[in-house]
Amino acid sequence: MNEENMSYSTHDTLHQQTPSIGHGQAHSKIILMGEHAVVYGVPAIALPFTAASTKVIVQKNNHSVSYFESEYFTGTAAEMPDEMNNLKQVIQLTLDSFALPKEPLHYKVTSNIPVKRGMGSSAAVSVALVRAITDYYQVHLSDYQLKMIVNQAEIIAHETTSGIDTLMASSHRPVMYQKSEPPVPFDINLKAFLIVADSGIEGQTKIAVGKVRQLYEQRPSMVKDALKSIERFVKLGYQAIKQQDTNELGRLLTYNHYYLNQLGISDPKLDHIIRAAWYAGALGAKLTGGGLGGCAIALAETQTIAQTIADAMKQAGAQNTWILNLAMNEEEN
């Protein structure tokens, strides 16, 4: 199969009998360090966040048109609002790429990934959709095909994308990621806990990415310096993880936040939540993901301190918090 060619299969190769239901699944992600800079080729470190995930079910629709069911919108596929153009595109590209029949289908999305919080919800729903459609038609889907389809949809959702959200929606290991380079999966085994706090404010990745680009055009040397600093912190952060130096990693998270702030993508409420984490004893804290709202993360030495920090972040306005044990890479609530 020629992977450069987006048409991967023909109708003839489909199994005679499709199963009655196609299933697709994907999860959320947390960017530990390097968001935004990753769009400009700087490496970033991200973790899978399986506590927040999405499931898609595809089945035949007994009416004449396709139907889309989700918490955000339920109605005919033709009526899907413009905000869902990325998902429309995912469906279209998947059907076209595999030369699948255009028959009425029922798409049902269930997700507990908070939307617009920089947790990669759009990429996760897209990944789960492609998987469910290809599962329904029993066509083989390679990682490359999945990435090509979802990244095109992510460009609609975020305008510019490094591809990190698409990758992490189906990655089960932490990854050091650099645009256009093969991702480097690795293990995190730290005697530390990561607190994830949802500010409850809808983040706006598309606007945030545009804001950084505009700043780059207006003040290129300032932004280049910030990107260089972030690159250094990410590389040192990767070393700190390898050397199990949690104090150093915490400091680097905070430095990274300082430069994200310089890039203008933090938010007063988010900063308030991050400050609360610092005062409550975090080794470091920063925003994560797109910014302008969304989520913050903080690093703690013990589970007790992590709980104190999570409580302080809630007190400061966070709507929801999760605690990840970095020794085992598991989530606890």
CB of 61 to ligand MEV, least distance (A): 33
Q: How far is the CB of 270 from ligand MEV (least distance, A)?
A: 14
The number of beta carbons lying within 10 Å of the beta carbon of residue 20 is 8
Which of residues 39 and 90 has its CB atom nearest to ligand MEV in the complex? 39
**What is the C-alpha separation between 132 and 18, in angstroms, rounded?**
12
List, as own/partner pairs, every contact residues 314-320 make where C-beta atoms lie below 8 angstroms and the sequence separation is at least 24, other chains included: 314/197, 315/276, 316/272, 316/273, 316/275, 316/276, 317/199, 317/200, 317/269, 317/272, 317/273, 318/197, 318/198, 318/199, 318/200, 318/273, 319/198, 319/199, 319/200, 320/114, 320/197, 320/198, 320/200
Distance CA 291, CA 304 (A): 28
Asked whether 22 and 47 are in contact (CB, 8 A), the reply is no
Name residue 195's beta-bridge partners. 298, 323
The residue number with the shortest CB distance to ligand MEV is 162
Cβ nearer to ligand MEV, comparing 36 with 257: 36
d(C-alpha 249, C-alpha 12), whole Å: 53
Provide the binding-site residues for ligand MEV, judged by CB under 6 A: 31, 35-36, 38-39, 118, 120, 158, 161-162, 164-165, 205, 209, 289-290
Q: Which residues of 61-90 are buried (b: 16+ CB within 10 A; e: fewer)?
A: beeeebbbebeeeeeebeebeeebebbbbb
Max distance between CA atoms of the chain, in angstroms, equals 63
| Residue 135 or 231 with smaller CB distance to ligand MEV | 231
CB 49 within 8 A of CB 62: no
**Contact present, 283 and 246 (Cβ < 8 Å):** yes
Specify whether 165 is catalytic.
yes
Comparing CB distances to ligand MEV, the nearer of 168 and 277 is 168
Q: At what angle do helices 121-136 and 143-158 cross, to 10 degrees?
A: 140
- Residue 70 or 205 with smaller CB distance to ligand MEV: 205
Rg (CA), the chain: 20
- Distance from C-alpha of 290 to C-alpha of 279, rounded to nearest angstrom: 24
Q: Which of 135, 165, 198, 267 is catalytic?
A: 165
- Token pair of 219, please? 């003040």
Distance CA 130, CA 37 (A): 28
Min separation Cβ 322 and ligand MEV, Å: 17
- Supply the minimum distance, in Å, between the C-beta of residue 160 and ligand MEV: 7
Catalytic residues: 165
